[in-house]
Structure 1
Amino acid sequence: IGLSFVPDLKLANSLYALGSCYNTIALIYTKLSDHLRALEFHHNALAISKRIDNRRSVAQSYNNIANIYQDLEDYDSAMVYYERSLALKTEGNDRAGMASTLNNMGELMLATNRLNEAEKFFLESLEIKSESGNRAGEVYTQNNLARLALLKKDFPGAEQYLDITERTAQELGLLDELRVNYELRIALLKELNRPADAFRYSELLMVVKDSLMNREKAEALAGIQIAYEVSERDRQIAFLEKEGELRKSQLALRNTLIVVSLIILGLVYLQFRREHRNKEQIKTLLREMYHRFKNNLQLLSSVLSLSARELTDEQALQAVRSSESRVNAMALIHRKLFERKDEARSINLRDYITELITYLIHAYGYHERGIQTDLSLEPVQVDIDKAIPLGLIINELISNAFKHAFIDHQSPCLTVGSKLEEKATLNIEIRDNGVGMRPPAERRGESFGLKLVNMLMNELRGKYEVSTQSGTRYVLIIPL
């Protein structure tokens, strides 16, 4: 369609429209991966922008040409054109354009493994986007900074950027950036040896990719509809021309207006539909992911429960029951998330601990023996990334009490408390009135359960204290 209008636009001497048409054709060739043809039309657009002295368009053409050279891995040529683009945008105080080009220069440095220079460009771009309130642009650059941190093995830095971009991408309905975020998150979790979390994000990534595929199909259909409308309008204009109602130059200008108007209307409509649909899709895919993950964990819990019935060896039976309770602790979190009507990623810790204790009381048979529970829990909201390891820790410590503390105890009592201290620090106390832990000298090494507690506390960047007077008492201190 664009190529068919070039002769008319030349005839009408509409240079600005012709330059826009060249740029559009170049972008189409880029989509088709025909980079040489794209480069040709970007240079045509650049020549016209220089001819009409439109410095903003010249700067954009420089940036577009640099992008093509980067795709062709001609990094030296790409940097030359990026620098020309940045100089013009800086001269014209085009802050949004500067941020875009700086981000592109950072990506070029990343591609050539010049990580420190890449970080400098990304941070400059992010600063401008933050000042102008360009939240979608911030997400794009922060994903790049997360990728950079991964390459530098700065895992805490990568996680910090990914946490920010995940929340913002979900809020704004940015499915493309959410896909990038989840791919980077999975790579990070593999580096941190957290397979359960990596699996959870892999499932969510699949749902996002499905949503993107559906969106692309819808956009393709919309593109066909726009092309049909342009064709119909061409036919009408041709008929009017035969009737002598339009001169040739007027026809060219009207064609231009029709094309531009239809494209703008189509893009505005698609953008509106995309933003509205993406936000709804993210709500749906989050609930679908929680539901799918919850069902998988419940299935695994059922398999472990069935396996336990076949075992006669007490040690093996205890190991399977411990695994079953750990799986249930994670499944309970995902059930709590699924039950929420919004897209929030946090759970009420008071409700969670109360329900977990009820499950463990029945799992270890204390509902028949009788046990006193003293719960003093604040309704603190905890993000899922902290709730899962925290739930496993609480499950482990309470399970240990039920397995070891109350042997032959006539009046077992379990006390659990939680409160949010200053500086967003969560304190959790778990105490029993049982026999207490044996001295370290009498133990045969550290159990798997306590090793798991130590590993998860390190992941949460928390610490804990333990005392064994009149039973066992754990105090967990965790930054939120």
Structure 2
Amino acid sequence: MHIKSIHIIPLFFFLNLALFAQLNPEDSIKYANFKKEKLYKNKAVYFLSIRKKTAIKTEQQWILYFKNELKKYKKNTEDVTYINYILAKLYSDSEQYKESNKIANYLLENKQDFYSESLTCDLLYLLGNNYEKEADIQNLLEIIKQKTKYCNVEMYQFYRLYSKMGLPKRALKSYRVYINSLDQTKQTKYNWAQHTNNIGFYFQKDNQIDSAFYYYNKALDLILDYKKEAPYKKNSKREKEVLFWVGLIKGNIGDCYKKYGNYKKAITFLNEEQKSAKIFYKGSSSKWYGEKYYWEQVADCYLKLKNYKLAKIYIDSLFIYNDRLKYYNLKKQYYKGLKVTDSVNLYTELYNKINDSVITNKKLDLNKTLINFLDLEFSIIEKLHEIKAIKSENINTKKQLHLYVALFSLAIVTVLILVYFFYQKKKQTKIISSQKNIIESNLEEKNILLKELQHRVKNNLQTIKSLLTMRLKSIKSEKAKETIQHSINRIAVLSKIHHKLYDNNNNLNTIHLDEYINEIVLDLKTFYDQNKNVEFKLNIQENIFIHIDQTVTIGLIINELVTNSYKYAFINKDKNNIIAIFFTRNNDKLFFKYTDNGVGFDVNKKTKSMGIYLIKRLINQLGSDAKFASSSNGMEVSFDFIDKSSY
């Protein structure tokens, strides 16, 4: 007995060593913390973050383990809740969606006081993923509605559901909206390869094979370029992901070759996808969800090539999946090729029985589901636009911060000037009554100046208020947030004019440039021509539409340039004063030129002023550099830039 115990202890020790040898160092630490931790609220965090759980136990063994844990912790409600949450995740990972949904719905229906927002949202996300994989659109819509109440509003990927509902055109439109919602500056060639592939997928779903083939090949070029340029390590996770996507795109190209009737080439490309998927999912607890589709497509190709021996191997591989409709259809085609009539009739009958039921159910639910779906998508997009109005996409933090500081400083100086004039007016009215006529004359002049200054201030303050409001949500420092909020409140008192740019109801992304510039010029001409007669010559190419962000910047640049001309260039009122604005497009590039026939200025000296500095910074924001030229006959400013809406 003593001898046996000596051998048992080393055996247990080596079994543990073997177990940890199968785990990567990060998973080993998480598993050790999971075993050490006593509260299941914390144990759940460690366990669910282990990437290769099946290296320790199989999925079913883990399920049995946690069922036993339920019995052990049955007196502690909080521990039982988190154990059930883990079970719901495990059932979902093993594609036992009904069991997973049953537990998750029970937990949501019996919410406890200790439930955090994070746990509630995690359960909703779990149910949403399950319903999506089951193609249960009605229940999924309800989950999305609940997520908008309890979780952060996000751009839900509606295009995937439109695709499942058999609406590829609407899916493609929704997907383009999703792409536009992303931060374009953070999209790499890897990301664009994925986006381009997905666009091809929706064209394929719409049976536009030529368009799909074009986008798939474009996606392949992008991913291969990224593969050459990307600085990832060999055999790293990123390399496996890239190789997986290379295979996936090739598989999609294989689908197109199948549609074209080139079945041999289709099989070659489909096998490339299967090969890359095997490498990517090797040693992972996750599964390749495209495997069933791969068997179907290759089986169909071999049937078309009349290679029934190989076709049967792939068809039989489909039996393990719970998709009898496609399995029966391929069996029917297989026996039809072999001319076995009885088997053809049998599988035709089985196929029609299931197919009729599926079609009937889909017809009954589709209209109601689509109406609810469109209403939900509209409400979420509406909320996203509200959020977007107060949150800035951080394209170039450093440049934008400098611009904010410059604009804010200009606003403070302007406000101080206004306060000074008001103070002087009040002081002079009270103290120097004997000089009333002189004071009233001076005040009249000052009031004219105040009106001019106030008009400029309101435009600038509205822009500053919007910019600062958008930045407010992304600032973490409470002290900084308080400072900016005070500034916003003070500026809001002075700002009374609604920015005309946002009156455009037709399109939230682009503005008609010709109409926009004419409107700005008309307002400025109406305002400034009280003192000087200036002729505007506008040469704006028709039908130019540019991105709303760039439109705001163009408006600010024109406002600054015209103001500068009126204030400093046209000293002689009797002279035929002219301002010319030229704007044209050449493909994606836009060219802008501004000239006046005023007195000009010293370029080297004047470019250091705040106004010219601000103009240069605004032009820099468009991704360009300003070209200044000046003489006694006037001045010229020109630059070109890429239209952001063409990306």
Higher relative contact order (CA 8 A, sep 6+): 1
Q: Which of the two has higher C-alpha Rg?
A: 2
Query: What range is the shorter-chain TM-score in?
Result: 0.3 to 0.5
TM-score with structure 1 setting the length: 0.41
TM-score with structure 2 setting the length: 0.32
